[in-house]
Structure 1
Amino acid sequence: MFKIMLIEDDTTLFGEIKTRLSQWSYEVYGVSDFGRVLQEVHELGPELILIDIQLPQYDGFHWCRQIRAHSNVPIIFLSSRDHPMDMVMAMQLGGDDFVQKPFHFEVLIAKIQAILRRVYDYSTERVELRSWQGATIEFVKNLVTLQDSSVLLTKNEMLILKILIEHKNTIVSREELIRSLWDNEHFVSDNTLTVNVNRLRKKLEPLGLEKYIETRTGQGYIATEEVDL
């Protein structure tokens, strides 16, 4: 059974979500102290986190930033706020998805299932290492190393990079990437992919690799690498 931490201060909504997720055999845990969210995440070790933006003491953005400094656990934001910048901020801070309240539970469960399937099936893949532009890509560790420098990617960032370098020097359409990351493109904003790709490039900047992830307007993205003849 997967453990899900639901960081939500609305007790009624918390109870409704917990009841529905329990029917799908997920173990759902809440937060006892909203000033110790990071510590409680570490103590529980959840496989996925659902987090509201508006929380007591510190907002969900703050806690996402704190969690991402220590863990790559998948994070889905829940929010009644509908400003596009909220979604952009959530993704830039390391969120894996964003669900706006009020939501249909079927949409939430579809997103949860897609992320868990992608993250925890993906982590068992046999191929662990790949070379690209002189860098070593460690899929299981979500690590990119070039010479003496390394950067740690989130699951989504690594999956995007994995798909692109498996098709290096070939354009991968936005639709293909969205299907690979989120299974059902009908539930995903096109801007979500853009934010994730931009975040990947930002992570690769210290290694000087960001310029090799190119946008082909109206087509998709391409990871370039010179081919020895």
Structure 2
Amino acid sequence: MPRTFLDHIAITAFSLEAGAALVADTLGVETQRGGEHPRMATHNRLLRLGKSMYLEVIAPNPAARSPGRPRWFGLDTLAPHALPALSAWVVRSTDIQASAAAASEPLGDLEPMRRSALDWLITIPADGSVPLEGAAPALIQWHADAHPAARMEDKGCALALLEIFHPDPERISRLLSSLELEAPVAVRQAGPGDPVRLAAHIDTPHGRRIL
């Protein structure tokens, strides 16, 4: 069974501009241009968080043709007035099929994806949702010799900790154990009636900030 590692965290937004503004306002740094995902009719902006980790702002691409299927990361459920939010995370495996089979929770179907010269496999639920309302990660396997973050601008940011708040933390801990995850991730008990949420503690040139 291969180990898995935290690959990236994702801020979902109805518009790319709104998501990028949240990052700039919270972290005090600007994201860089990413690219387009033709199969999903989405586009993104990026922020390096290490040599093999990054933050992604992802949104529907209004200039793209309809994908004819649900977009990933639950983007089709966002209303125009919805606030951008840290709502998903992705872990990397060298054998995504083995990792998906070992997972204690269903994480979605294996799908081939491409953005410019990059291509990869990723797990996506058929309805486009994020597993367990974002508490569970997507799995990814890159088809590249070097991680995409290695080619991103270094803005002096690094992820210190990702917190997952869930009403059944033992369930999430079992999942992460089944994935043999090695990452700065902590599972917390959500308060009574509180929704599932993620909190990323990020070291920046301006000190530690929380998304």
Q: Select the structure with the greater relative contact order (CA < 8 A; seq sep ≥ 6).
A: 2
- Structure ranking higher in helix proportion: 1
**TM-score, normalised with respect to structure 2:** 0.29
- Structure ranking higher in strand proportion: 2
State the structure with more CA Rg. Answer: 1
